[in-house]
Structure 1
């Protein structure tokens, strides 16, 4: 199966004898945006950063990222809170090896960035990512992964951006973070249900867009692992054939 995929990829990206090859094809530009607004306390902030770092180094995730090194996933990681509060932790970086992922994970061990204590701007995070996608080449897919535990309360709402051309061609997936382990089951389930409905209706968009759920920040690592495996699966032949057009 992998040999067939590799042959299909070679046929699609090869330009034939006598022609110079263009820049290395990018099969997917993936931006990971983490909510660091006031609802995220210091312990939860650390769980979120460490959870993403561990998820990136999970063997299955590493295998998915590195399955096609000649057409890598290009990764960016940023934090967001208010409408004008976004911090890039990892600029666009092609991921071709485990060492690339280890280097990406290492930035998450660094100091925390600035935080807007009173604002959650999901729409602002989406627009920030849209501008950032303009910095990468003609990737076959552009995917924004937004994690959060609250609704938009600053700047344009995600619903207001439903027809915004700046987000054309970008698939937005969501990771809803439910109430923490100290919350009773009824309240936690109510919060998760409300947030999933909000993300499904207002946040996610594009072909195959989906919402993943973490049971509190303690469950962030496992939820992120599941989410990454869905987002960066190796393309099937039919998708490869239509991708570079």
Structure 2
């Protein structure tokens, strides 16, 4: 099944290369890891999300986990060119079957910059797609390695939009951040990149599926998401 998932992402007609980067540092316990992985799998097969995936030219999808500067692990064998509902179903099944290992528990640091570098390198295999987007999910600030701003200044991110899914417990009614939600402000100031970049806030990992679904709906909408009212956006 894993071999069947892999497709060349640089094929002609790809409208979007989408990288999903999931935080699996030690702040994410076993139960939260399961909620994150299951939330993503279920969001991918949400009927409206699936409809948008399959509207127009195909979308190339790459999913990986990140933690320390040396820990970036692909959850799919390679880029997947999503052309049918069966493609999405196979991706979701692969994500659901991916186990949490002891190696995850040893990831004490949170290296957002290293995750961005890995995402940028992955996009090099999808350069023929019309648009390129990275989505970083996380529940903590970067605390080791290159700062995201350094990465953007020194690595080729031209034409790449970087969005964020922030997992936080400081949420008021309506899904808006509380006034002292420094984590959301950090992602907004340091991680978002591109004129149309936005963040979506999850009220804990129990809310991850809803937040991921909302994020995918915006990222997959044609025309570009600039016409959408933002839950949160870059400058």
Runs of 4+ displaced beyond 6 Å: none
- 1:51–1:191 Cα change, 3 Å: farther
Residue 136 of structure 1 and its aligned partner are, at CA, apart by 1.6
Equivalences, count: 209
Residue 192 of structure 1 and its aligned partner are, at CA, apart by 7.3
Map 1:1-245 → 2, pairs under 5 A: 23-68=11-56, 71-90=57-76, 91-109=78-96, 110-112=98-100, 114=104, 116-179=106-169, 193-235=181-223
- Specify the SS of the correspondent of 1:75: strand
d(CA) in 1 for partners of 2:170, 2:38: 16
**2:113/2:145 contact within 8 Å kept:** yes
Report Cα offsets for 1:59-83 as digits up to 9, x if no partner: 0000000011xx2000011000001
Q: Which 5+ residue runs of structure 2 have no aligned equivalent?
A: 1-9, 225-235
- Specify the SS of the correspondent of 1:142: strand
Bigger radius of gyration, 1 or 2?
1
d(CA) in 2 for partners of 1:134, 1:24: 15
- Superposed CA RMSD: 2.3
- Specify the SS of the correspondent of 2:150: helix
Residue 224 of structure 1 and its aligned partner are, at CA, apart by 0.2
- Specify the SS of the correspondent of 1:197: helix
Report Cα offsets for 1:133-155 as digits up to 9, x if no partner: 11124111110000000000111
